[in-house]
Amino acid sequence: MTQQILIAVIVLGVIGAFFAVVLYFVAQKFKVVEDPLIDEVADVLPGANCGGCGKAGCRAFAEACVAQGNMDGLRCAPGGEPVAQKIAALLGCSAEAGEPQVAVVRCNPSFCGEKRRSNYDGLRSCAFANTVYTGESGCSFGCLGCGDCVAACQFDAIHMNPDMHTPEVDEAKCTACGACVKACPRRIIELRNRGRNNRRVFVSCVNKEKGAAARKTCENACIGCTKCEKVCPVSAITIADSLSYIDFTKCIACRKCVVECPTHAIHDVNFPAPAKKPEPKPAAEAAPAPVAPAPAPQAAAAQ
């Protein structure tokens, strides 16, 4: 009896010792060395896995940060400046001071809501509606109004306007992760700098039809008349395919283009008072002293 127990103990002991040795070498061979810094960086991140950074998720972003050793070209949009600072402190580098951004919906259809041109009752999916027809507004560039962007937002920051059937961004909640930008099959939504005091100027139209055709499609469409381009003091406006685009890195939010636009396609947001055309004032007041008196509109443009 004692002998049997002894044999069992010895056999199991030898097998156990053999596998322990095998496992030791296997563990040595396939050892994964992970930088503990990755976990620390991942803990700082918001953990929404929104994919706004272009990585598979927050963990992948942390790995990329640690692998790179600095934060060049890496940006966590929902985390913004505070998270960037914390990661920079962990990595021991300086954080790139990125401008805070916000999603901007560049469509303002005139034929929507009650005035819509057709009544779509198919699948409520922009990706599908885009393959079927132009959309209720009749514009083949404009918003389809089925809310793919709303479904894509992880932060509850974009909602459909019930009257217009176009999306509206809640600026307070928007983290500029870019999920809505990717979800929109018509590429209407753009990430733009929030601007000083949250004040922005942008062209609320993506219609590339020629002027007359665009106007027929939508009363609020950009017709590519170039008036805004001419009036812009910092050449922030470019016109391509009969469509105006304001470069937000150059724009100084002077709002000269807003008053100039004949179709009111250029929108200004968060300004305390509506933009007004500069009133013709005496030249001496409008222009600084050294400049010779000139006609008022040009003087205004020179400022």
Under the binding rule (CB under 8 A), the answer on residue 121 touching other proteins is yes
Nearer to other proteins, 196 or 210 (CB): 210
Distance of closest approach, residue 87 Cβ to other proteins, in angstroms: 30
Under the binding rule (CB under 8 A), the answer on residue 59 touching other proteins is no
Nearer to other proteins, 70 or 110 (CB): 110
Answer yes or no: are the C-beta atoms of 93 and 116 closer than 8 Å: no
- 79: nearest Cα among 69, 71, 87: 87
Burial class (CB in 10 A: 0-12, 13-18, 19+), 169: buried
Under the binding rule (CB under 8 A), the answer on residue 134 touching other proteins is yes
Q: Which residue has the tokens 């008022």?
A: 296
Under the binding rule (CB under 8 A), the answer on residue 122 touching other proteins is yes
Under the binding rule (CB under 8 A), the answer on residue 127 touching other proteins is yes
Distance of closest approach, residue 98 Cβ to other proteins, in angstroms: 29
Q: What does the per-residue mask of binding to other proteins show for 201-240, with x meaning CB under 8 A? A: --------x-------------------------------
Nearer to other proteins, 141 or 202 (CB): 141
The piece of 54-62, 120-128, 163-171, 265-273 that touches other proteins (CB under 8 A) is 120-128
The piece of 2-10, 35-43, 116-124, 275-283 that touches other proteins (CB under 8 A) is 116-124
Site residues (CB under 8 A) for other proteins, limited to 140-179: 140
Under the binding rule (CB under 8 A), the answer on residue 133 touching other proteins is yes
Distance of closest approach, residue 185 Cβ to other proteins, in angstroms: 10
C-alpha angle 46-51-54 in degrees, rounded to nearest 5? 120
Under the binding rule (CB under 8 A), the answer on residue 131 touching other proteins is yes
Q: What is the DSSP string of 225-248?
A: --HHHHH-TT--EEEETTEEEE-T
Answer yes or no: are the C-beta atoms of 204 and 221 closer than 8 Å: no
At 114, list the tokens: 């009650």
Please name every residue paired with 246 in a beta bridge, in sequence order, or none if there are none.
237
**Can you list the pairs that 161-165 forms with residues at least 24 positions away whose Cβ atoms lie under 8 Å?**
163/113, 163/114, 164/109, 164/112, 164/113, 165/112, 165/113, 165/116, 165/136
The SS3 call for residue 266 is strand
Q: How many residues touch other proteins (CB under 8 A)?
A: 16
When binding is defined by CB under 8 A, the residue of 78, 79, 138, 224 that contacts other proteins is: 138
Binding footprint of other proteins on the chain (CB under 8 A): 117-118, 121-123, 125, 127-128, 131-135, 138, 140, 209
